[in-house]
Chains A and B, each alone.
Chain A
Amino acid sequence: MANLATTFAGIKSPNPFWLASAPPTDKEINVVRAFEAGWGGVVWKTLGEAGPPVVNVNGPRYAALYSQDRRLIGFNNIELITDRPLEVNLAEITRVKRNWPDRAMIVSIMVPCDEQSWKAILPRVEDTGCDGIELNFGCPHGMSERGMGSAVGQVPEYIEMVTRWCKQYSKLPVIVKLTPNIADIKPPALAAQRGGADAVSLINTINSVMGVDLDSLLIYPNTGGTGSHGGYCGPAVKPIAQNMVAEIARTPQMATLPISGIGGITTWKDAAEFIALGCGNVQVCTAAMTYGFKIVQEMCDGLSNYMDEKGFADIEAFRGRAVPSIVNWNQLNLNHIEKAFINQEACIQCGRCHVVCEDTSHQAIMATKDGKRHFEVMDDECVGCNLCVSVCPVPECITMHALQPGEIDARTGQSVPAAYANWTTHPNNPARV
């Protein structure tokens, strides 16, 4: 029976599923509901400094991107950090942690970028009895304009500086949350590490504009006629998050830096993928906002059954297992040849594979054979791009097959070499080794 308990940056949690710092973790009433449903931990919605809190717009604050069957695949928010007084939040955090001692309670913080502001808030947060803090260097809207949020996250020097203050003025584990609105995630992550971070969490949300109302020709959504960019999240951002997680995980310097994975995690499979890419736990927001807190039960059940099936006793047993398989493009084996194959029994003859290959790829799929409607791959044109597999509506109808060394590639007339060779030694490469 798989053990889902985790210890992340020294913080114990009964399972690897935390709620990310966001509307779902705004108040005691939300967080208690989350714990009752079974979440292993929460990151409390970002606290600001003492004094009058920020205010949010009175609607709308959210918008969704839908797939054709009206399934929510992307989500956007323009909510800010907590709009409740610091004292109220601190009292609630204290109470909830006391009532739920076995769950992880992390407090997210965002205060101005000066030492005094951090020195003032840290002891007050520590006094709640929480298990750790998360530094919010990621809000792409509302706070960045004030020199906080992603305005810090995009400047490695600031990240290092603030992280160092937090390690100096508090005994709590420090998790640094990174913004994806950046060209290369490694410098901010390295800066956090240099500053003494106990872990990093990523990604925060991505700058986005959801759409335009075609009747009014106004930005959608808008609050009384105008709207602003917001933070994009949900299933659509998962590949972006996964790339950034992988970048950190495969940088030797950061090989032992714990990573909390965030970005479109909706099912146990998503969580397992992040874990295989190096994450010690995961944080969820959009899925909870789409379906409610109960989904954590399906996540735990699915992950547990998967681990039992694979013989993984605990999360550490498979954490990071996929990382070695991620390399730079110029290290890919150019002697590995694949061709697509269409299973004629499963094929429903929609013809989508043909038209996309014909229009946008290599014209490698025939549409007729002996005068009849028939879709078949022509190996002498197929480059193995996987486009047909991606667009075919029937799972497993089209599959990719690797040619064996010695087989002739019909497209080139060449025999498939057994040896590995990549771009760095290719004759076409002017900079070849």
Chain B
Amino acid sequence: MSKSPPLPEIQPDVRPGRLSACQYADNFSDAHPPLTAMQAAIEAERCYYCFDAPCITACPTGIDIPSFIRRIGEDNLRGAAKAILEANVFGGMCARVCPTEVLCEQACVRNTSEDKPVEIGMLQRHATDAYFAAPGAPLFTRAAATGKRIAVVGAGPAGLSCAHRAAMLGHEVTVFEARPKPGGLNEYGLATYKTTDDFAQQEIAWLLSIGGITIAYGQTLGEQITLADLSLKFDAVFLGLGLGGVNALGIAGESIGGVSNAVEFIAGLRQTTDYAALPVGRRVVVLGGGMTAVDAAVQSRKLGAEEVTIVYRRDQQRMPASTHEQEWAQLNGVTIRTWSVLAALGAHAGAVTSASFASVREVDGALQETGERWSLEADTVLKAIGQTLVLADPTLATLQLRGGRIVVDADGRTSLPTVWAGGDCTFGGKDLTVEAVEHGKIAAHAITRALIPSTPAFKRARRAA
């Protein structure tokens, strides 16, 4: 009986320094450079200043878009920034990361006749960039002190939006943040090429300049602080917890070397000061179909990975990542494979070497294996199959939940009368930064009305003359 020759040893190829310094600098610089003054002038003129503009309705924070665009056209950049920031205190970050193609720009009336919406996102960036470069006198002032104290858990967009509005309404706010820096996903999640030059921190520094907001770091709910305790010590609590957990694959070997969570990979990448020192696989597989999967895949390519494949269980149309994001991935050399679920991971000496997939199809809403299998060699497998709310705090676990997230009413109030919540930790919504900002803002007003009943109801700032 002849013996087949031994298979060559497959060593996982995960190493740093795949590219030159120049290439790293290029890859992680601003993916979408800002408009020049002339581009902004021409683009601003394209806005028709619609009545009851559809773009305002489409914006989760209700920014008065025609107003700010008209003000750009009239050389009133400070006024444009004010129109943006008074509706959305994170208007600067949102201008860089909002999926405008499915929000305001999708609603623009210039789609109807020309298929060419006004570039609202770029114009918003133009106005906020100009303002932050030379802020001048403060745009916002605080109302008279109310004597009320609000606790905010989480210094991400939901929490800081709530904190800013609450401070503006005259309350004193303490924010409890688990990580060493504020910002949540703005600081730890969004791709660098979307927010260059430490933008997240600079924006937060400006936000905090209104005063009345203190942030305590290293404070995790259920460990250093508890919801029960905060509810006693403060007049109201706002939870902007985000989703701190990740879904597991549920297959053997998912904790071997080379297999990790995409969010951790992205967070590490955001905090690095030297891209050349970050190891990245030569062949990378990303499991999942949302923005996290796209960000992890694209950034792997930008670190120098040769083959990067996103594998999603259904079709591209149903991927949570927008068409624009999927195209961005493909433009950056990422392959998208569909209708496939992970079946097994191949390993050698405790490190992943391959991933094999079962092709599936949908029968009566459920996925069914077709019998076909295919596989990819992989040095790195990144899991981006969804994040979960961590319920470490005992009181938190008693809140009404749905789909593993906190249920809130239209004001953001939870099932506990002095506890509000917003952002990704709540049920409903599309897990967008801009939604988190709106949640925080609405909650701040609702909290004010609850604590001071004579407060008039907050009307979404849309002026239809």
> Which A residues are closer than 8 A to B by beta carbons?
33, 36-38, 69, 71, 267-269, 291-295, 297-298, 301-302, 305-306, 308, 394-395
* Chain A min CB distance to B139 (Å): 11
Instruction: Check if B32 is an interface residue, CB within 8 A of chain A.
Output: no
Q: In the complex the two chains form, what is the Cα distance from A294 to B38 in whole Å? A: 26
* Chain B min CB distance to A254 (Å): 31
Shortest Cβ distance from B41 into A: residue = A395
A293 touches B74 (CB 8 A): no
Instruction: Check if B363 is an interface residue, CB within 8 A of chain A.
Output: no
Instruction: Check if B79 is an interface residue, CB within 8 A of chain A.
Output: yes
Interface residues in B438-465 by Cβ distance below 8 A to A read 463-465
Beyond A37-B465, A298-B67, A301-B82, list 16 extra A-B contacts (CB 8 Å). Answer: A33-B465, A291-B49, A292-B49, A292-B465, A294-B49, A294-B67, A294-B463, A297-B67, A298-B74, A298-B76, A301-B71, A301-B76, A301-B79, A302-B71, A305-B76, A306-B76
Which of B45, B76, B82, B464 is A69 in contact with, Cβ under 8 Å?
A: B45
Which of B51, B71, B76, B82 is A292 in contact with, Cβ under 8 Å?
A: B51
Q: In the complex the two chains form, what is the Cα distance from A295 to B66 in whole Å? A: 10
Residues in A with CB closer than 8 Å to B465 are: 33, 36-38, 292-294, 297
Which of B41, B67, B79 is A305 in contact with, Cβ under 8 Å?
A: B79
Residues in A with CB closer than 8 Å to B67 are: 294, 297-298
Residues in A with CB closer than 8 Å to B76 are: 268, 298, 301-302, 305-306
A298 touches B463 (CB 8 A): no
Residues in A with CB closer than 8 Å to B71 are: 298, 301-302
B51 touches A302 (CB 8 A): no
Shortest Cβ distance from A394 into B: residue = B38
B75 touches A269 (CB 8 A): yes
Contact code string B213-240 (vs A, CB < 8 Å = 1, else 0)? 0000000000000000000000000000
Contact code string B74-97 (vs A, CB < 8 Å = 1, else 0)? 111011001000000000000000
Contact code string B23-57 (vs A, CB < 8 Å = 1, else 0)? 00000000000000110010001000101000000
Q: In the complex the two chains form, what is the Cα distance from A302 to B68 in whole Å? A: 11
Residues in B with CB closer than 8 Å to A69 are: 45
Shortest Cβ distance from A397 into B: residue = B38
Residues in A with CB closer than 8 Å to B82 are: 301
Residues in B with CB closer than 8 Å to A269 are: 74-75
Q: In the complex the two chains form, what is the Cα distance from A395 to B38 in whole Å? A: 7
Shortest Cβ distance from A33 into B: residue = B465
A268 touches B74 (CB 8 A): yes
Looking at A38, A268, A297, the one whose CB has the most chain B CB atoms below 10 A away is A297
Q: In the complex the two chains form, what is the Cα distance from A267 to B79 in whole Å? A: 13
Shortest Cβ distance from A69 into B: residue = B45
Residues in A with CB closer than 8 Å to B463 are: 37, 294, 297
Q: In the complex the two chains form, what is the Cα distance from A147 to B137 in whole Å? A: 56
Q: In the complex the two chains form, what is the Cα distance from A37 to B465 in whole Å? A: 5
Shortest Cβ distance from B51 into A: residue = A292
A298 touches B79 (CB 8 A): yes
Listed from nearest, the 6 A-B pairs whose CB atoms lie closest are A37-B465, A294-B465, A302-B76, A301-B79, A293-B465, A267-B74
Residues in A with CB closer than 8 Å to B37 are: 395
The tally of CB-CB contacts under 8 A between chains A and B is 51
A298 touches B70 (CB 8 A): yes
* Chain B min CB distance to A53 (Å): 28
Shortest Cβ distance from A306 into B: residue = B76
Q: In the complex the two chains form, what is the Cα distance from A33 to B37 in whole Å? A: 35
Looking at A37, A293, A302, the one whose CB has the most chain B CB atoms below 10 A away is A302
Between A and B, 29 residue pairs with Cβ closer than 8 Å are A33-B465, A37-B463, A71-B45, A267-B74, A268-B74, A268-B76, A269-B74, A291-B49, A292-B49, A292-B51, A292-B465, A293-B465, A294-B463, A294-B465, A295-B49, A295-B70, A297-B67, A298-B67, A298-B71, A298-B74, A298-B76, A298-B79, A301-B79, A305-B76, A305-B78, A305-B79, A394-B38, A395-B37, A395-B41
Residues in B with CB closer than 8 Å to A292 are: 49, 51, 465
Task: Give the interface size class of chain B.
Answer: 10 to 19
Residues in B with CB closer than 8 Å to A33 are: 465
Shortest Cβ distance from A267 into B: residue = B74
Residues in B with CB closer than 8 Å to A394 are: 38
Shortest Cβ distance from B78 into A: residue = A305
Residues in B with CB closer than 8 Å to A36 are: 465
Q: In the complex the two chains form, what is the Cα distance from A294 to B41 in whole Å? A: 21
Q: In the complex the two chains form, what is the Cα distance from A287 to B78 in whole Å? A: 22
* Chain A min CB distance to B71 (Å): 6
* Chain B min CB distance to A256 (Å): 32
Q: In the complex the two chains form, what is the Cα distance from A297 to B70 in whole Å? A: 11
B137 touches A302 (CB 8 A): no
Residues in A with CB closer than 8 Å to B75 are: 269, 302
Shortest Cβ distance from B67 into A: residue = A298
Residues in A with CB closer than 8 Å to B74 are: 267-269, 298, 302
Shortest Cβ distance from A299 into B: residue = B74
Residues in A with CB closer than 8 Å to B79 are: 298, 301-302, 305
Q: In the complex the two chains form, what is the Cα distance from A268 to B79 in whole Å? A: 12
Residues in B with CB closer than 8 Å to A38 are: 465
Contact code string B60-71 (vs A, CB < 8 Å = 1, else 0)? 000000010011
Q: In the complex the two chains form, what is the Cα distance from A347 to B137 in whole Å? A: 36
Looking at B75, B78, B79, B465, the one whose CB has the most chain A CB atoms below 10 A away is B465
Q: In the complex the two chains form, what is the Cα distance from A301 to B67 in whole Å? A: 10
Residues in A with CB closer than 8 Å to B45 are: 69, 71
Residues in B with CB closer than 8 Å to A301 are: 71, 76, 79, 82
Residues in A with CB closer than 8 Å to B49 are: 291-292, 294-295
* Chain A min CB distance to B168 (Å): 17
Q: In the complex the two chains form, what is the Cα distance from A37 to B67 in whole Å? A: 13
Residues in B with CB closer than 8 Å to A267 are: 74
Q: In the complex the two chains form, what is the Cα distance from A5 to B137 in whole Å? A: 21
Residues in A with CB closer than 8 Å to B38 are: 394-395
Q: In the complex the two chains form, what is the Cα distance from A290 to B67 in whole Å? A: 15
Q: In the complex the two chains form, what is the Cα distance from A181 to B378 in whole Å? A: 82
Q: In the complex the two chains form, what is the Cα distance from A308 to B464 in whole Å? A: 27
Q: In the complex the two chains form, what is the Cα distance from A71 to B48 in whole Å? A: 10
Shortest Cβ distance from A37 into B: residue = B465
Q: In the complex the two chains form, what is the Cα distance from A405 to B49 in whole Å? A: 49
Looking at A36, A297, A298, A301, the one whose CB has the most chain B CB atoms below 10 A away is A298
* Chain A min CB distance to B294 (Å): 36
Q: In the complex the two chains form, what is the Cα distance from A267 to B73 in whole Å? A: 10
Residues in B with CB closer than 8 Å to A395 are: 37-38, 41
Residues in B with CB closer than 8 Å to A291 are: 49
Q: In the complex the two chains form, what is the Cα distance from A81 to B397 in whole Å? A: 71
Shortest Cβ distance from B73 into A: residue = A267
* Chain A min CB distance to B247 (Å): 47
* Chain B min CB distance to A116 (Å): 42
Q: In the complex the two chains form, what is the Cα distance from A269 to B82 in whole Å? A: 19
Q: In the complex the two chains form, what is the Cα distance from A36 to B465 in whole Å? A: 7
Q: In the complex the two chains form, what is the Cα distance from A15 to B38 in whole Å? A: 32
Interface residues in B291-313 by Cβ distance below 8 A to A read none
Residues in A with CB closer than 8 Å to B464 are: 294
Q: In the complex the two chains form, what is the Cα distance from A292 to B50 in whole Å? A: 9
* Chain B min CB distance to A347 (Å): 13
Q: In the complex the two chains form, what is the Cα distance from A295 to B71 in whole Å? A: 10
Q: In the complex the two chains form, what is the Cα distance from A394 to B41 in whole Å? A: 11
Residues in A with CB closer than 8 Å to B51 are: 292
* Chain A min CB distance to B138 (Å): 11
Shortest Cβ distance from A348 into B: residue = B38
Q: In the complex the two chains form, what is the Cα distance from A293 to B79 in whole Å? A: 18
Shortest Cβ distance from B48 into A: residue = A291
Q: In the complex the two chains form, what is the Cα distance from A33 to B464 in whole Å? A: 10
* Chain B min CB distance to A296 (Å): 8
Interface residues in B154-196 by Cβ distance below 8 A to A read none
* Chain A min CB distance to B283 (Å): 45
Residues in B with CB closer than 8 Å to A295 are: 49, 70
Shortest Cβ distance from B46 into A: residue = A69
Residues in B with CB closer than 8 Å to A306 are: 76
* Chain A min CB distance to B15 (Å): 43
Q: In the complex the two chains form, what is the Cα distance from A38 to B137 in whole Å? A: 24
Q: In the complex the two chains form, what is the Cα distance from A154 to B70 in whole Å? A: 39
